[in-house]
Amino acid sequence: MAMNTTKPALLISACLLGQPVRYDGQAKGQTPQQLVALTTHFQLIPTCPECAGGLPVPRPPAEISGGDGSDVWQGTAKVMTADGQDLTTAFTNGAEHSLDLAQQHGCQLALLKANSPSCGNRQIYDGSFTAQLQPGEGVCSSLLRQHNIRIFNEEEISTLLETAGRKT
């Protein structure tokens, strides 16, 4: 049976591939089975927007204050640490770097870490540093979405694979 050997490019949060780039120096790698499925079906393009924005590992946890990622791009919300450090510029710079990378590789799909102030696609923490989630998207997810890149999180890998299956 003839197979389509062209794999679509998938932008992916580096921490989901096991890279220890999270604020606490940890990773959130997926199961070997999931990684095999992803590498079978996609050309993986890893990115960590917070590292790309110049932030170190480890780094203080940050949350969006005053809205979500789309509000950050509109200038009505900021990314702050619990002790009041404004990291908005690093987050937006890193998001722009990740968008450039995605566009260079022709990514139309992204698999990004849920709940992150950069990568979250459906929920983010509410800015109170009390572990409360609220509906919203992260800074990088918002920018990618505005450029027509469809975003999935690690709980949505099966849907992502189905979507890619229909596309190839």
Minimum Å gap between C-beta 164 and ligand SF4 is 20
Nearer to ligand SF4, 65 or 120 (CB): 120
Q: Is 72 in the site for ligand SF4 (CB under 6 A)?
A: no
Q: Is 49 in the site for ligand SF4 (CB under 6 A)?
A: yes
Which phi and psi (to 5°) does residue 8 adopt?
-70, 145
* Cα dist from 86 to 32, 90, 122, 134, 144, whole Å: 37, 9, 23, 21, 22
Nearer to ligand SF4, 82 or 168 (CB): 82
Q: Is 22 in the site for ligand SF4 (CB under 6 A)?
A: yes
3-state helix, strand, coil in the chain (%, to 5): 40, 20, 45
Minimum Å gap between C-beta 165 and ligand SF4 is 25
Instruction: State which of residues 11, 17, 38, 50 lies at the interface with ligand SF4 (CB under 6 A).
Output: 50
**Do residues 121 and 77 touch, judged by C-beta distance below 8 A?**
no
Q: Which of 116, 121, 137 is nearest to 67 (CA)?
A: 137
Rg (CA), the chain: 16
Enclosing H/E stretch for 49:
helix 49-52
Q: In this structure, what token pair is assigned to residue 73?
A: 């791009």
Instruction: State which of residues 9, 11, 17, 21 lies at the interface with ligand SF4 (CB under 6 A).
Output: 21
Minimum Å gap between C-beta 68 and ligand SF4 is 15
Q: Is 141 in the site for ligand SF4 (CB under 6 A)?
A: no
Instruction: State which of residues 17, 119, 139, 164 lies at the interface with ligand SF4 (CB under 6 A).
Output: 119
Nearer to ligand SF4, 14 or 109 (CB): 14
Work out the number of other CB atoms within 10 angstroms of the CB of residue 94: 24
Q: Is 70 in the site for ligand SF4 (CB under 6 A)?
A: no
Residues lying near ligand SF4 in the complex (CB under 6 A): 13-15, 21-22, 48-50, 113, 116, 118-119
